[in-house]
Amino acid sequence: MEEVTTAKVTPVVVDTDGGVDDMVALWFLATHPMIELRGVVATGVSRPAKMVARNALLLFDALDCDVPVVIGADQPVGPAPVVAAAAMHGPEGLGDLRPWRPRREPAAATPGELLTETSRRSPVRLLTLGPLSTLAGLLGTGAVADLTVMGGSIRAGGNALPAAEANIARDPSAAAHVVAHPWTVPTRLVGLDVTLHATLTSAEIAAFGDSAPAGPLVRRLLEHYRAHANDPERFPCHDLFAAATLVDPGVATFEHLPLSVDTGGSAAWGMTVADFRSALTGRSLPGWRRWAVTTGVDLDRFRALVRGAAGPL
């Protein structure tokens, strides 16, 4: 008799700020058979948290699933050099789509209550796709198996500012708190060093046929994102790649480095700083914490993962 093995399903909670690539990442996690999406936290700052929650609820309506969505922080923890969302996400965070009223309202629970409740059965993997304003107020809450942050850049410079990636630039103080926290679980930073090279093409967009779950919606979001990219033939989808690392860590390579975030208010404000000297010394400066930082991408593997998730044409 052939032995039957059961693959382990991963429970995940996502903290999102509701942009186009956030929606694609949420789609990926909500539909993937190896992921149990237990909840979503809607963090504002770049757009109102209620708008972020609405966008997530609209996606879940299209997927006919009832993932709970709660309202997170609406303001940064401290001063920020950048607040407004990038124009490429559209006025409502849905590209060129006009929003409609979702079937559900956000849950009444707080982010802390959501994290505590969803981790009661087993620790959850936490993925953040926006500013860390909500997470900075939740440190030590719930049973988190690990933390993956989409944000920052250690070598590639910034996109919101010369030295600062957008999610970190929208709340450097929150990012500094999260990075410096004495985590007892694995922490990973998926930044521009890799996401700028984790590109999609027309082949991945075409994979979202009408038979794919919410296929036309995701295809339209990606088409809008591509139209605003520097190279429409090869365009990044930052949050989707961060989500992909939860399903297949082999799409990325990681380097363990001590990190800190600049909150000084000058030219490097919001910069994620890595201490590369630690490779030689084996030591970290006081207050600096080691994170696993993405430094490489297996592009073919990532694209194949996306096409496979979208389903056959």
d(CA 130, CA 45): 9
Domains of the chain and any CATH numbers: 10-310 (3.90.245.10)
pLDDT digits (tens, 9 = 90+) for 57-92: 999 999 999 999 999 999 999 999 988 776 777 778
Contact 153, 175 (CB under 8 A): no
φ/ψ of 63, rounded to 5, equals: -90, -5
* Residue 9 backbone phi and psi in degrees, to 5: -90, 135
The answer to which of 182-196, 223-237, 249-263 has the lowest mean pLDDT is: 223-237
Q: How confident is the model at residue 142 (pLDDT cuts 50, 70, 90)?
A: confident
Instruction: Determine the 3-state secondary structure of 158 from DSSP.
Output: coil
Q: How confident is the model at residue 9 (pLDDT cuts 50, 70, 90)?
A: confident
Confidence of residue 4 (pLDDT cuts 50, 70, 90): very low
Percent of the chain with pLDDT over 70: 96
Residue partners of 241: CB distance under 8 A and separation at least 6: 150, 190, 194, 195, 198, 251, 252, 297, 302
Sheet containing 272-274, strands listed edge to edge, beginning at the edge strand earlier in sequence: 69-71, 35-42, 10-16, 124-128, 144-150, 187-190, 289-297, 252-261, 272-274
CB-based contacts of 313, cutoff 8 Å, min separation 6: 206, 207, 209
pLDDT at 6 over 50: no
- Do residues 20 and 55 make contact, with C-beta atoms less than 8 angstroms apart? no
Report residue 183 as tokens: 């985590």
In 3D, which of 25, 127, 132, 33 has the Cα closest to residue 80?
132
